[in-house]
Structures are given as C-alpha cells and as structure tokens.
Amino acid sequence: MTTATQFEIFVMPGEGIGPETITEATELLKRAIQAGRVSARVTELEVGEPAFARTGSYFPEDVRAKIDRACDSPRAAILFGACANEPIGDLRKRADLFANLRPIRAVPVLAGVSPLRDCVVADVDMVIVRELVSSIYYGQAREGATAGERWAGQEMYYRASEVRRIVRFAFELAAQRRGLLTWVHKRNVIKGVFALWADAIDEQRPQHHRRRTGGKPGDRHPGRVEMPEADGDVEKPEAGEPHEADRRRHRRSRACSGGNAVVHGVLSLFRTGGLPDQP
C-alpha cells in the first residue's frame, strides 16, 4: 500500500492494566502488518500517570495535537489502554466516540470457574451498547455548603439527538445479530431523562419492525441475568399439575435461555432468548 492508503495508529497504553493489555494487542497488530494484512504506521503516545510524572499533565499538548489530527482523518485510529484520569473523557468528546460496545461471550474452558451454573454460562453471547459522550460524566457539576453542611451534585444530561443516534446504532447492531433489543432503564424514578430514551425508541421502532424490543427497570434486570432461578412462579401445584421439582427444572431451562438489554443509556443485546415487549 502507498502512504496515502496507510493507516496511522496511535497507541496509548496509559497505566494500570493498560500497558499489559496494549502490549499484547500491539504485538498482534505488528504481526498483521508484517503479514501484509494491513499497512499501518504505529506511534506510541504517553498519557495518564506516566505522562503526568514526566510533564505534569495527564494529556500533554503535543499528544492532544496528534489526536486532533487523527480525529480529522478517516485512516487514523487510537489503540487505548486505561487511565484513571484524562485523557479518557477528553478523548471521547474530541473524537465523538459516542458508542461504547462491550461484547460478553462465554469461554468454554473457563465455565467451571464461573459463579453461575454451566447452563447459564454456556450460551452467553451479549453486547452492551453504552452512550459515551453525555450523561452524568459530562453534566454540570456543582458544590457548595448550606447551613454549614457541604453538598455536591452532578447533572445527568442528554440531548435528544444524542439519544436518537445511540438508539439507532443499537437497533442496527441488533439487526446483525438475532434481532433482540432490550432497554434497561430507571424511568420509574428518573422520569424526564428516560422519557427521551422511551420517545427515541418508540420513534424508531416502526423502522425496525422485525426487531423484538422490550424494557425493564434497571433494578430488576440484574436479578434476571445473575439469579435466573428467582424468575418464575412459586404457586403450589394442584392435582394433575407438574410436581414442584419438575416446575423448578422448567424454570431453570427457561432461565438458562438468557435475555436481552440501558442503564443510563446502556442497551444490550443477548443472542439467547429475549424479554417480552413491555409498555
């Protein structure tokens, strides 16, 4: 490939687990380059604690300048590790990295060390989709003191356009999978913010009529995923009905079928099973 078609990849290990994971990822990248699978120039940039120790800034100006150029280029990418402070929040805003994807799949050889039963773990294949450039991380922060007592707060804030685009992204991703999409929310208590999400989903649902969608309050959904036996009836069996042991086996098989998922703008998609449509 020519220089014009060459990718430019900025590697930013950061701190903590970042250097450990990025070292392995960079090795794979270099092997792909050596094998001719991709043409790229790799440049490592120092950010986070290492940069602060050397320059007094977690996100030095020379690094910001390179990242700004990368944001304007369709052939540039960032391979990012981990940082407790900046540049993670600044990077999201500068590059408008609004969609955070978190795929979760079971690894068969590790099933035995999972705290969940094998039947729950075996077919897990889900993607959490999280809105990443708005909400409470970027909301207005305030603090003060009243009657001699300190207080602090930070606003949860979304624009409707930000919600619509992440909802559209999640619907499109669901279409590439099994077509299951569930919204996990706190609309029961945070009404105005999650009304934006509900409206965006309702607006786009007709365009994705082949996709199955539903919603659940955030404080109920984790129990469905992590403690599936809690889901199901507990009625005492009458004559001619299945014995309680059979009923429990039925509940387990139902629970092991999985589910789907947004908490504060997090949508997730499970390959196995799904939740029924909810009003």
Residues 6 or more apart from 198 whose CB is under 8 A from it? Answer: 183, 185, 187, 215
Residues 6 or more apart from 235 whose CB is under 8 A from it? Answer: none
Mean pLDDT of 31-44: 91
State the Cα angle at 40 between 37 and 44, rounded to 5°. 130
Q: Give the pLDDT confidence score for residue 15 in this predicted structure.
A: 94
Q: Give the pLDDT confidence score for residue 109 in this predicted structure.
A: 84
Q: Give the pLDDT confidence score for residue 272 in this predicted structure.
A: 34
Mean pLDDT of 48-56: 94
pLDDT in tens, 261-276: 333 344 444 333 333 3
Assign domain 1-97 to its CATH architecture: 3-Layer(aba) Sandwich (3.40)
Its sign, for the CA torsion 16, 94, 177, 272, is positive
Residue 202 has pLDDT above 60, yes or no: yes
Mean pLDDT of 35-52: 92
Structure tokens at 161: 């356009």
Q: Give the pLDDT confidence score for residue 163 in this predicted structure.
A: 94
Residue 230 has pLDDT above 60, yes or no: no
Q: Give the pLDDT confidence score for residue 31 in this predicted structure.
A: 93
Q: Give the pLDDT confidence score for residue 74 in this predicted structure.
A: 86
Is this prediction's pTM over 0.85? no
DSSP letters spanning the chain: --GGG-EEEEEEEESTTHHHHHHHHHHHHHHHHHTTS--EEEEE---SHHHHHHHS-SS-HHHHHHHHHHHT-TTEEEEEEE-SSTTHHHHHHHHT--EEEEEEE--GGGGGG-SS-HHHHTT-EEEEEEE-SSGGGGSPEEEEEETTEEEEEE-----HHHHHHHHHHHHHHHHHTTSEEEEEE-TTTSHHHHHHHHHHHHHHGGGGTTSEEEEEETTTHHHHHH-GGGSS--PPPPTTSPPHHHHHHHHHHHHTT------SSEEEEESS--PPP--
Residue 238 has pLDDT above 70, yes or no: no
**In the chain, what are the domain boundaries?**
1-97, 98-279
Q: Which of 97, 77, 68 is nearest to 9 (CA)?
A: 77
Q: Give the pLDDT confidence score for residue 217 in this predicted structure.
A: 62
Banded model confidence at residue 229, pLDDT cuts 50, 70, 90: very low
Return the number of other C-beta atoms located less than 10 Å from residue 230's C-beta. Answer: 11
pLDDT in tens, 132-165: 999 888 889 999 999 999 999 999 999 999 999 9
Q: Give the pLDDT confidence score for residue 205 in this predicted structure.
A: 87
Residue 166 has pLDDT above 50, yes or no: yes
Cα gap 100→129, rounded to integer Å: 6
Residue-averaged pLDDT of the chain? 76
Cα gap 10→78, rounded to integer Å: 5
Banded model confidence at residue 214, pLDDT cuts 50, 70, 90: low
Mean pLDDT of 209-233: 48
Cα gap 5→114, rounded to integer Å: 44
Cα gap 262→266, rounded to integer Å: 3
What strands lie across the sheet with 7-14, from one edge to the other? 40-44, 7-14, 76-82
Q: Give the pLDDT confidence score for residue 219 in this predicted structure.
A: 55
CATH of 98-279, one of 3.40.718.10, 2.170.190.11, 3.30.70.120, 3.40.50.360: 3.40.718.10
